[in-house]
C-alpha cells in the first residue's frame, strides 16, 4: 500500500515525507482554470511530489485538456474526478480523450452518476477497451461493513481509498479521532492484499496531523504480528455472504 496525503493550495500546505494528492477543487471554484499555470509555478517552491490531482467534476469534450498544462508541469498523469456525465457514451468520450493525452482518470464512487456497484459493472462493460478505475471514501459509507462490501465487490477496480474519520455531523477528521477503526480496516486491507493508494484526506484545519498519523499507520503496517484468527474468520464469513448474495441477483 502506498500512502499519500491530500493537500489544497493556499490552505496551509504542510511539508510531508510522502507523495501527495493535489486537491484543486476549491481553487477552481475561486479562481477558475485560467490560473492553473500560475498555480503550478507557486507549487514548485514547496517541493511537493504530486502523484495525482483531484479536480472535481469531469465531463464533456475538452474536459481533460483543460488540465493538461498543470499535469505536465507537475509531472503526473493521474486525475481523480467525480463523473460529470450520466450516459455511457459521455464516459467513453472522456476516457478516449484521456487516453489520447496519456492521462489516467480515477472516478469517485458514490457521487453523481456513479453511486452503486451495478452501475460500476455496467459502465466497465461499455467503456472497453478502456479500464474503469474507482476511488472509494471510507467515511461516506454508513458503516465499515458497508465499505468492505463495496470494496470486495469492486476490488478489481479500486485504485484509491480515501482515509478520514467522522463523528456526529463532522467529517474530514484525522483517522484516529472518529468512530471508524482505521487500524482494523488497514489490517483487513492487508489481509485482502490491497496494494494501491491510501490517501489521508483531512479538512485543512487538521493538516498538521498528517505526519504523526502517517507515522502511526506506517508503524502499525510494518510491525510483526500473528494473524488475528477471529478477524480472519469474520472476514471470511463476510466474503462468503457477499458472494452468496451476488449469486442470487
% of the chain exceeding 90 in pLDDT:
67
Q: How many structural domains are present in the chain?
A: 1
Using the predicted structure, report yes or no on whether residue 89 has a pLDDT greater than 80. Answer: yes
Query: pLDDT (tens digit, 9 = 90+) per residue, 151-189?
Result: 999 999 999 999 999 999 899 999 999 999 999 999 999
Please report which confidence band the pLDDT of residue 48 belongs to, taking 50, 70 and 90 as the band edges: confident
Residue 137 to residues 9, 159, 173, 203, Cα–Cα distance (Å): 21, 12, 13, 14
Highest mean pLDDT of the ranges 23-27, 71-75, 133-137, 217-221: 133-137
pLDDT of res. 61 = 81
The domain of 134 spans 2-248
pLDDT of res. 12 = 59
pLDDT of res. 60 = 82
pLDDT of res. 29 = 83
The partner residues of 20 in beta bridges, in order of sequence, read: 5, 50
Using the predicted structure, report yes or no on whether residue 11 has a pLDDT greater than 70. Answer: no
- Where residue 80 sits, what CATH number does that domain have? 3.20.20.150
Q: What integer is the mean pLDDT of 235-241?
A: 91
pLDDT of res. 80 = 97
- State the sign of the Cα–Cα–Cα–Cα dihedral 28, 34, 40, 45: negative
Amino acid at each position: 500500500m502506498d500512502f499519500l496525503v491530500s493537500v489544497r493550495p493556499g490552505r496551509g500546505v504542510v511539508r510531508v515525507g510522502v507523495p501527495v494528492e493535489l486537491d484543486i477543487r476549491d481553487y477552481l471554484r475561486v479562481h477558475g482554470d485560467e490560473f492553473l499555470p500560475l498555480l503550478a509555478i507557486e507549487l514548485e517552491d514547496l517541493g511537493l511530489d504530486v502523484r495525482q490531482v483531484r479536480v472535481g467534476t469531469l465531463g464533456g469534450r475538452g474536459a481533460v485538456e483543460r488540465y493538461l498544462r498543470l499535469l505536465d508541469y507537475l509531472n503526473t498523469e493521474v486525475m481523480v474526478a467525480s463523473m460529470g456525465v450520466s450516459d455511457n457514451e459521455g464516459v467513453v468520450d472522456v476516457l478516449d480523450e484521456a487516453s489520447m493525452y496519456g492521462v489516467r482518470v480515477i472516478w469517485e464512487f458514490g457521487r453523481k452518476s456513479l453511486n452503486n456497484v451495478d452501475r460500476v459493472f455496467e459502465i466497465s462493460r461499455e467503456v472497453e477497451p478502456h479500464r474503469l478505475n474507482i476511488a472509494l471514501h471510507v467515511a461516506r459509507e454508513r458503516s465499515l461493513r458497508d465499505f468492505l462490501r463495496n470494496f470486495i465487490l469492486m476490488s478489481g477496480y479500486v485504485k484509491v481509498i480515501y482515509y478520514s474519520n467522522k463523528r456526529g455531523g463532522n467529517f474530514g477528521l484525522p483517522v484516529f479521532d472518529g468512530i471508524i477503526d482505521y487500524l482494523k480496516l488497514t489490517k483487513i486491507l492487508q489481509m485482502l492484499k490491497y496494494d494501491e493508494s491510501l490517501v489521508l484526506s483531512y479538512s485543512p484545519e487538521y493538516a498538521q496531523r498528517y505526519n504523526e498519523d502517517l507515522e502511526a499507520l506506517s508503524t502499525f503496517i510494518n510491525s510483526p504480528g500473528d494473524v488475528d484468527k477471529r478477524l480472519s474468520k469474520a472476514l471470511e464469513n463476510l466474503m462468503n455472504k457477499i458472494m452468496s448474495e451476488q449469486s442470487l441477483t
